[in-house]
Amino acid sequence: VGSFALAGDPTACSASGDPESIDEIELLFDRLWPILRSITGDGVRETLAILSEVAPMCRIEVDSTTKVFDWTVPPEWVAREAYVLTPTGERILDMRENNLHLLNYSAPFRGTITRAQLDEHLHSLPEQPLAIPYVTSYYERRWGFCLSQNQRDGLPDGDYEVVIDTDHIQGSLSIGEAVLPGGGQGEVLISTYTCHPSLANNELSGPLVAAFLHRRLSRWPSRRLTYRFVFAPETIGAIAYLSLRGEHLRKSLLAGYVVTCVGAGDRFTLKRSRRGDTLADRAALHVLNRLPEQPRVLDFFPGGSDERQYCSPGFNLPVASVMRSMYGSYPEYHTSLDNRELLSIAALRESIDVYERILRVLDTNRRYISRTPMCEPQLASRGLYGTLGTRESTSFTDALLWVLNYADGEHDLLDVADLSGISLPELANAARACYDARLLDEVTQASECAAVNLPSA
């Protein structure tokens, strides 16, 4: 009881002016970069507060020890100070220098120990001797430090004084939620995660892209669909969110995306939803296949990020993931080398563009039923067809015929675009003209949601 509470004031967005500038993105990146984030704690809340300047959001706080499906929300982690003094008194592995140094969720410890004793608590990567690894221990209490293999190798024998001033308290897990309502009932989910400390492609890129994407959508003249943005810690955050909103999403979700790893790499990657050919997959492919560089398309696999939860068999939601260089597939992944140098602000900006185009496809897509399904309607009398019969047909006429013939309640405009090779805006334009001429009825979004969220085959 009472374990979920809403906080924050998602009032009117700063809806003036142009899309974000490169400088604005970079500034936001620089402010978020040094914050020590984890799956709970003030670092997450500070991050959500900064993101709220771009994407005003509610904050949902889920109390520690709340049961969420098979899980229990862990205690909130407080990290005040962490460092080591070498035998010569040098202060090293200070979390203020690089927040990857402290094992994320580390237990507290204070004491003087030998080089050998210290070593049992160190994490490094022999095969990448310059990189500090990102290591966590959420569900078992241990203390530790992460450092480069080179630094580790250079630590002399002697006594080391270890200071880890951390705490695990009864607190809460923080989720940011920003819903941009549309005219109808269908929803689109944009989910990203906020638990990674100073890491760039994976993962400051996701929250940054999601936040600016939100601002762009907030400035659209109108929205047909509702866009739900979720900023949550990975895994436990998505699970907590689904325990709160899962039933709603099962009824209303048309398409969703996990936004992650969108700051580095030339080529886009689509990881398909578990069902494989949902509207989320089709809309993403429609956009990605029209980019200059051919996308990489992967079938669903149950490793990865929060699509693991959205696409768990009991939910099996239409959620895909559009990425650039995917987690696990680039050498800097989960190390200190996944930093500002690896990431490109221009790539981030392009990722915002691509996601906005995908969402425009979703907002534009519709399903129609012809009001004159027996033979073609008389188009000329409605000013929709040239009255002079020549051998040339216009692309508008072509689009009209495609839209009318496939207005069977089964095909949506995206299907027609795939069948015809005609662009979605042209089809939407033709459909609008037919609709205005009362030749078409639109399938309601409620039916649409019901159709999309059928149990998977």
Neighbours of 370 (CB within 10 A): 19
Indicate whether 17 belongs to the interface with a second copy (CB under 8 A).
no
Alpha-carbon gap, residue 173 to 437, rounded angstroms: 52
**Closest distance between a second copy and the C-beta of residue 338, in Å?**
10
Instruction: Please give the residues from 61 up to 80 whose contact with a second copy meets the rule CB under 8 A.
Output: 68-72
Nearer Cβ to a second copy, position 88 or 387? 387
Neighbours of 165 (CB within 10 A): 14
Indicate whether 297 belongs to the interface with a second copy (CB under 8 A).
no
**Closest distance between a second copy and the C-beta of residue 184, in Å?**
24
Nearer Cβ to a second copy, position 242 or 362? 242
Alpha-carbon gap, residue 437 to 385, rounded angstroms: 12
**What mask of x and - would describe binding to a second copy in positions 212 to 241, judged by CB under 8 A?**
-----------------------x--xx--
Nearer Cβ to a second copy, position 150 or 378? 378
Instruction: Please give the residues from 237 up to 276 whose contact with a second copy meets the rule CB under 8 A.
Output: 238-239, 242-243, 246, 274
Choosing from 123, 223, 357, 360, the residue that interacts with a second copy (CB under 8 A) is: 123
- 3-state class (DSSP) for residue 357: helix
Alpha-carbon gap, residue 414 to 255, rounded angstroms: 14
Run of H or E residues at 433: helix 424-436
Indicate whether 130 belongs to the interface with a second copy (CB under 8 A).
no
Instruction: Please give the residues from 165 up to 204 whose contact with a second copy meets the rule CB under 8 A.
Output: none
DSSP assignment string, 90-150: -EES-TTT-TTSBPBTPPPEEEEEEHHHHHTTEE--TTSTTPPB--B-SSS----EE--HH
222 in Cβ contact with 183 (< 8 Å) = yes
Q: DSSP character for 266?
A: S
Neighbours of 133 (CB within 10 A): 18
Indicate whether 1 belongs to the interface with a second copy (CB under 8 A).
no
60 in Cβ contact with 174 (< 8 Å) = yes
**Closest distance between a second copy and the C-beta of residue 370, in Å?**
6
Instruction: Please give the residues from 376 up to 435 whose contact with a second copy meets the rule CB under 8 A.
Output: 376-378, 380-381, 387-391, 393, 398, 401-402, 404-408, 419-420
**Closest distance between a second copy and the C-beta of residue 198, in Å?**
16
Run of H or E residues at 79: strand 76-85
Choosing from 66, 137, 185, 339, the residue that interacts with a second copy (CB under 8 A) is: 137
Indicate whether 330 belongs to the interface with a second copy (CB under 8 A).
no
Choosing from 2, 17, 89, 303, the residue that interacts with a second copy (CB under 8 A) is: 303
Nearer Cβ to a second copy, position 10 or 409? 409
Alpha-carbon gap, residue 282 to 293, rounded angstroms: 18
Alpha-carbon gap, residue 285 to 420, rounded angstroms: 16
What is the longest distance spanned by two Cα atoms in the chain? 96
Indicate whether 302 belongs to the interface with a second copy (CB under 8 A).
yes
Choosing from 309, 321, 364, 445, the residue that interacts with a second copy (CB under 8 A) is: 309
Indicate whether 349 belongs to the interface with a second copy (CB under 8 A).
no
Alpha-carbon gap, residue 48 to 15, rounded angstroms: 19
**Closest distance between a second copy and the C-beta of residue 93, in Å?**
18
User: Shortest CA distance to 226 belongs to which of 258, 252, 208, 205?
Assistant: 252
**Closest distance between a second copy and the C-beta of residue 274, in Å?**
7
**Closest distance between a second copy and the C-beta of residue 301, in Å?**
7
Question: Going by C-beta distance under 8 Å and a sequence separation of 6 or more, which residues neighbour residue 226?
Answer: 179, 180, 181, 182, 184, 185, 186, 187, 188, 252
- 3-state class (DSSP) for residue 24: helix
Residues near a second copy (CB under 8 A) are 68-72, 104, 123, 133-140, 142, 235, 238-239, 242-243, 246, 274, 299, 301-303, 308-309, 311-316, 328, 333-335, 370, 372-378, 380-381, 387-391, 393, 398, 401-402, 404-408, 419-420, 456
